[in-house]
Amino acid sequence: MAREVEPPVEVALKAGEFEEIRQLAHRTFGLDLKPGKEQLVAARLGRLMRAGRFGAYRQLYRHTIEDRTGEALAAMIDALATNHTAFYREPEHFRFLADRAAAEWKGRGVVEVWCAACSTGEEVWTLACALDEVLSPGRVRIAATDISRKALAAAGRAVYAADRCAALPPAWLARYFAKDGAGGYRVRPEVRSQAAFSRLNLMDAFHWPRQFAAVFCRNAMIYFDAETQARTVAKLAASLEPGGFLFLGHAESVPERPADLEYVRPAVYRKTDKRGGAWNRSS
């Protein structure tokens, strides 16, 4: 039987269609697509255009907003979301967490951390390794969330090519990873058991049953406008326990910082304890 060849779709993205998609992305998951991103959007949505055999981007848009299952929107989010991440990215955050924050947690039981916008999992496993180095086994629990189902599936598999793991300290690679048959590395089961992955849209209202000792939300809000950033930071701060740390990406800022967040160092903030005021930054 002859293989069916999928015909190429060469469709121009019109200005009005780009605006519809831009507004949908902003409204549903906070992505702020600036003018000039038309070619990028067309390229990223090309697979969905071919799969649906759409003759115009407006048809894809209508299909997405009319699909009651939410699958079409999830597919568009997966296509447009930027899932760039890396192991041991911005390493000073992990050193700070190990050297200062973890020292404060030695006397407590389970330490719970939220890794928001966790992408394909590299940040989650870096967090687990950094905390396992200074805390006794079994005390770390990481809630890992992302809006992209595709990224979450990769994070849950926890298998990475060797070149993706090059930035990890060799001792971590030997202790927390195992060689994978394809030449890469797989996160060991005892480390994988410390993380629970779930889909969460930071634009939605959400409430965790507990507050976290630390929240990592790095390099996600650079794609948001200032108003969306401010709302998101407020929700992240509400998810922190008093004294908990919020880590952002170094390219991000905190517009209209909530009153209960104090600056600690670049891209690191701490939630104040209303009973005791600000924390001693030099401690």
Indicate which residues carry an active-site annotation: 44, 146
| Helices 15-29 and 57-66, packing angle to 10 deg | 30
> Radius of gyration of the chain from Cα atoms?
21
Give CA–CA dist 179/185, Å, rounded. 5
* 3-state DSSP assignment of residue 39: helix
Residue 65 · residue 102 · CB < 8 Å: no
d(CA 102, CA 254): 24
- Give the span between the Cα atoms of 183 and 138, in whole angstroms: 29
Spatial distance between the Cα atoms of 283 and 279, rounded to a whole number of angstroms: 9
Separation between Cα atoms, residue 75 and residue 78, nearest integer Å: 5
Closest CA to 55 of 7, 8, 11: 11
Q: Are strands 111-115 and 177-179 parallel, antiparallel or unpaired?
A: unpaired
Instruction: Please say whether the beta carbons of 202 and 117 come within 8 A.
Output: yes
Q: Which helix (H) or strand (E) holds 92?
A: helix 92-96
CB 140 within 8 A of CB 192: no
